[in-house]
Structure 1
Amino acid sequence: MDNMNDRMCIVTREKLQAEELVRFVVGPSGELVPDLKQKLPGRGCWVTAKKSIIDQAANRNVFANALKSKVDVPDNLSTSVDMLLTKSTLGMIGMARKAGQFITGSAKVDTALRNGEAVASFHATDAAEDGIRKLNQARTFYSKMTEEAIMPSFSLFSSDEMSNVLGEGNFIHAAALAGRAGESVLKRAKALADYREIPISEKENQK
């Protein structure tokens, strides 16, 4: 039975929950506008929140028919959506850091992973494989001790991108901690990884 809150992707025709899709509306000047918060007024249409699917929607020019309006689709639509998701994720990381629910530094991260305080680990895309491997061992240590699922790990941002948000000179490893802000970081990081179609590491030795 279909969920009353499901929406249909205009490309795949698959019904998904709203958080698995990106809503688009027509802006004041006739331009196509991604509505990530799903609150903008006017008729909207929905596309699966994956870069490849949004590229298909733009290339097949299906927006005008779905929105029943002439619409200007920007050439860099999928990149624009990626930038918005990135900004949202980095913004939440900054908020979680202020709330004490996002920590950096290999030693602190290792401890949080081993004692179950963390809900996810983060590594810069330019981090050394040896550092990632050691912290992945810390993730699996807690899982083996408690028989709980291995917490996810993400490599979404460069050290420079993260350092700009955190105000640090050399971000390499971090962890989101249990709590409202930390859970929000995890949710947004999953959404960005899904959009980029990046597998979320849940294995000890996977980078």
Structure 2
Amino acid sequence: MRKLPNDTAGDLLTDVATDSAADKADGPIRRCILSGERAERGELIRLAIGPEGQVAPDVRARAPGRGAWIGVTRPELEDAIARGRMKAALARAFKTGPIVVPDDLPGMIEEALTRALLDRLGLEARSGTLLTGSDRIGEAARRGKVWMLLHSSDSSPDGNAKLDQAWRVGSDAEGSGQRGIVLPVDRTRLSVALGRDNAVHVALTDQRAAARIDQFLGRLLHFKGEGAVPGPGKAV
């Protein structure tokens, strides 16, 4: 996440998403209630609170009412929950009654981020902006038609390497180390999301579609503590 100028220690834990005029004036930038760092909404995770004070992930930022934002990794969140820092930060953010932080909140967030990514991939599949099948992907990659290459978690290293090499050739990036990204989902779950049989590899053939997937995948991998995702078509 990027730091914005004029950030002061006194307001690190006060940013809450509301529909107030001040919130609208602040634009799409939000502040993590744990780290104090600021970033665009799409890079953070929104948390909502239920009528009984229970906290739940709202990764699509659609739940009504107040919300709080976090941008930390899962290990950092787990540590904050264990130390009581998360509950205290939420209490300051929501300023309501008792706050209930589920023990499995980190797992709930990771699953919600994974579902959001798979749903987005499903939409791209229905709109015709992605390919599956090693032969089709390899041909498109060698012709320079692939913007992003993805592999399921249970794909074979040899199969990945062959498609990665085809992508480098078509991207005029031989020797760069450019390679596809291994997704944190297996072929079974990926196939269900795409509505296709045995989807082991996925190629995004549209630049804007690749950018959309890059955002969803980047947020998931950051939360898992696996670092940033290279942008579509960029070497790693």
Which TM-score bucket, shorter chain as reference?
Answer: 0.7 to 0.9
Q: Which runs of 5 or more residues in structure 2 are unaligned?
A: 7-25
Structure 2 match to 1:89:
117
Distance 1:40 1:65, change over 3 A: same
For 1:187 and 1:149, the matched residues in 2 are separated by 22
Task: Give, in angstroms, the shift of residue 93 of structure 1.
Answer: 1.2
For 1:164 and 1:39, the matched residues in 2 are separated by 25
For 1:83 and 1:160, the matched residues in 2 are separated by 16
Structure 2 match to 1:105:
133
Q: Deviations over 1:32-75 (max 9, x none)?
A: 12222224333322211532233234332232233223211111
Question: Please, which of 152, 156, 161 is the counterpart of residue 124 of structure 1?
Answer: 152
1:38 paired with 2:66, answer: no
Distance 1:42 1:168, change over 3 A: closer
Q: RMSD across aligned C-alpha pairs, in angstroms? A: 2.7
Which deviates the most, 21-30 or 190-199? 190-199
Answer yes or no: is the 8 Å Cα contact 1:92–1:181 preserved in 2.
no
Task: Give, in angstroms, the shift of residue 26 of structure 1.
Answer: 1.5
Give the TM-score, by structure 2 length.
0.74
Task: Give, in angstroms, the shift of residue 160 of structure 1.
Answer: 1.1
Q: Which amino acid aligns with 1:27?
A: G
For 2:36 and 2:153, the matched residues in 1 are separated by 34
For 1:181 and 1:76, the matched residues in 2 are separated by 32
Structure 2 match to 1:134:
162
State the 4+ residue runs in structure 1 displaced beyond 6 angstroms: none
Task: Give, in angstroms, the shift of residue 172 of structure 1.
Answer: 1.5
Task: Give, in angstroms, the shift of residue 150 of structure 1.
Answer: 4.6
Task: Give, in angstroms, the shift of residue 180 of structure 1.
Answer: 4.6
For 1:143 and 1:181, the matched residues in 2 are separated by 18
Answer yes or no: is the 8 Å Cα contact 1:58–1:77 preserved in 2.
no
Answer yes or no: is the 8 Å Cα contact 1:95–1:181 preserved in 2.
no
Q: Which amino acid aligns with 1:22?
A: I
Q: Which has the higher contact order (CA 8 A, sep 6+)?
A: 1
Task: Give, in angstroms, the shift of residue 167 of structure 1.
Answer: 3.4
Structure 1 match to 2:18:
none
Identity level (%) = 27
Answer yes or no: is the 8 Å Cα contact 2:164–2:180 preserved in 1.
no
Give the TM-score, by structure 1 length.
0.83
Question: Which secondary structure does the structure 1 equivalent of 2:216 belong to?
Answer: helix
Q: Deviations over 1:151-206 (max 9, x none)?
A: 75232210111122233442221212205545423321222222222254744xxx
Alignment of 1:48-63 (within 5 A): 48=71, 50-59=73-82, 60=84, 61-62=87-88, 63=90
For 2:172 and 2:73, the matched residues in 1 are separated by 33
